[in-house]
Amino acid sequence: MHDLREFIAEVRRIVDRHFLGKTGEYSRWITQDAKSSRDLGCTPYGSANAVNILYTIGQLPDSFEEKEAFAKVLQGFQDPTTGLFANPGNYETHTTAFVAGALYLLGAKPLYRAEVFRKYESKEALFRLLDEIDWAKEPWLGSHIGAGIYASMLLTDTAGDEWEDLYFEWLADNADPATGLWCKGALEGAPRFHYLAATFHYVFNHEHARRALPYPKALLDTCIAAYRNGDCIDFAREFGWPDIDFAYLLARVQRRAGARYDEVQQILREIADGLIAQLLKLDPEADERLNDLNTLFAVVCALAVLQEALPGYIRTSKPLKLVLDVRPFL
For the stretch 123-163, pLDDT in tens is: 999 999 999 999 999 999 999 999 999 999 999 999 999 99
pLDDT for the residue 66: 97
pLDDT of 53: 99
Q: What is the pLDDT of residues 278-287, one digit of tens each?
A: 999 999 999 9
Q: How far apart are CA 168 and CA 138, in angstroms?
A: 21
90, burial (CB in 10 Å: exposed 0-12, middle 13-18, buried 19+): middle
Alpha-helical (H) ranges within 106-240 are: 123-131, 139-146, 148-155, 161-174, 192-209, 216-228
Question: How many whole angstroms separate alpha carbon 196 and alpha carbon 201?
Answer: 9
Q: How far is CA 77 from the centre of its chain?
A: 20
All domains of the chain, ordered by start, with CATH? Answer: 2-31+39-325 (1.50.10)
Q: How confident is the model at residue 56 (pLDDT cuts 50, 70, 90)?
A: very high
Give the Cα-Cα-Cα angle 211, 213, 215 (nearest 5 degrees): 160
Please give the single-letter amino acid code of residue 208.
Answer: H
Q: 293 and 45 in contact (C-beta within 8 Å)?
A: yes
**According to the model, what pLDDT value does residue 246 have?**
99
pLDDT band at 181 (very low <50, low <70, confident <90, very high): very high
Q: What is the pLDDT of residue 148?
A: 98
pTM for the model: 0.97
pLDDT of residue 72: 99
Write out pLDDT tens, residues 212-260: 999 999 999 999 999 999 999 999 999 999 999 999 999 999 999 999 9
Residue 16: band (very low, low, confident or very high) from pLDDT cuts 50, 70, 90: very high
Instruction: Report whether 182 contacts 198 (CB < 8 A).
Output: yes
pLDDT band at 211 (very low <50, low <70, confident <90, very high): very high
Give the pLDDT score at 190. Answer: 98
- pLDDT tens column, 31-55: 999 999 999 999 999 999 999 999 9
pLDDT, tens digit (0-9, with 9 covering 90-100), for 233-242 = 999 999 999 9
Q: What percent of the chain has pLDDT over 70?
A: 100
Give the single-character DSSP code of 120.
Answer: G
pLDDT at 108: 98
